[in-house]
Copies of this chain bind each other. A is one copy, B any other.
Amino acid sequence: MQKELKGRPITKKIYRQLKSRIELHKLKPKLVVIIIGKDPAAEYYVKMLEKKGKKIGLIVDTLKFEKDISQEKLLLHIKELNNKTDVNGIMIQKPLPNQINESQIISMINYKKDVDAMHPLNIGNMVLDQEGFIPCTPAAVLEMLKFYNIETQGRNIIIIGRSDIVGKPLANLFLRKNETGNATVTICHSRTKNLVSHTKKADILITAIGKPQFVKKEMIKKNSIVIDVGVNQIEDKEKGKIYVGDVDYDDCYHKSLFITPVPGGVGSVTTSLLLKNVVDACEK
């Protein structure tokens, strides 16, 4: 087994499975992505989703709104999408403009179409280990560990970052009584004192803080497993704009047992699992 945990073999497998499910059951899965205001990064992401979708037979539609759209108007559009039987998934690109009450908008999405798993009902079901959508990035981390046969049971997992979409859900998932759970979980963040004293104890270290190349080899335990969820754009002297993770990959490579690259690691799996959620929603 290679030291680098690549996302590609996993996404290949997932897309192959999705494609055959769609063909076999004659599904017409459709995801609608809402973009508010000009957001080149979001538009780039959605184009990529469209392309991936096309390959497996899944439609990705985009609804674009002016950045001054009112809460009421946006709510009406959500309601309309909730009622459309041909729409299986609804996703809203963040950040939302200031006039929009984000949590109210998200709570309005039919939780059965909440493929991004932002709805409190999906989060609650996740914590209680009940059926529902799981946020795609945490799900991608679990998928990677499962694919590469990395045990979590009884191991010390340290998560840096306590966001609603990565750190917190991941902590809850690692506590489940299943094959990717049963871990002893520590969540560190900006208020943590002596962070290194924690990261040095990690059998598995997960980073989700959005600080480019923050984790150096002095911070990790020898032969630990390093899962990098961060995606940060930086200016490289030679290569220009490049994407790096929260981990200094080159620095940590030799000391780690396994390590995920950025790009080509967790992020690519996340996208495939989002589309999987759309297909799941369609099949139900």
List A residues at the B interface (Cβ < 8 Å).
103, 119-125, 127-128, 130, 132, 153-156, 162, 164, 167-169, 171-172, 175, 182-189, 191-193, 198
In the complex, what distance in Å separates the CA atom of A186 from the CA atom of B167?
Answer: 13
B171 and A187 form a contact (CB under 8 A): yes
Q: How many copies does the complex hold?
A: 2
User: Given A155-B193, A172-B172, 4 other A-B contacts at CB below 8 A?
Assistant: A120-B127, A122-B124, A182-B191, A186-B187
In the complex, what distance in Å separates the CA atom of A238 from the CA atom of B247?
Answer: 59
Give the distance to chain B from A270, nearest Cβ to Cβ, in Å: 20
* Closest partner residue, chain B, to A104 (CB atom): B130
Contacts of A122 in B (CB 8 A): 124
Give the distance to chain B from A225, nearest Cβ to Cβ, in Å: 16
Give the distance to chain B from A246, nearest Cβ to Cβ, in Å: 17
Give the distance to chain B from A252, nearest Cβ to Cβ, in Å: 22
* Closest partner residue, chain B, to A191 (CB atom): B182
Can you list 14 A-B pairs, Cβ within 8 angstroms, ordered by A? A103-B128, A103-B130, A120-B121, A123-B128, A124-B127, A153-B191, A154-B191, A155-B193, A171-B171, A182-B191, A184-B186, A184-B187, A184-B189, A184-B191
Known pairs A120-B124, A124-B122, A124-B124; A175 contacts B189 (CB<8 A): yes
Give the distance to chain B from A170, nearest Cβ to Cβ, in Å: 12
In the complex, what distance in Å separates the CA atom of A189 from the CA atom of B174?
Answer: 12
Give the distance to chain B from A9, nearest Cβ to Cβ, in Å: 29
Contacts of A186 in B (CB 8 A): 184-187
In the complex, what distance in Å separates the CA atom of A206 from the CA atom of B1?
Answer: 40
Contacts of A187 in B (CB 8 A): 171, 175, 184-186
In the complex, what distance in Å separates the CA atom of A127 from the CA atom of B117?
Answer: 13
A175 and B168 form a contact (CB under 8 A): yes
Known pairs A153-B191, A154-B193, A191-B154; A127 contacts B182 (CB<8 A): no
Contacts of A154 in B (CB 8 A): 191-193
Contact among B124, B156, B184, B189 for A121, CB-based, below 8 A: B124
* Closest partner residue, chain B, to A162 (CB atom): B175
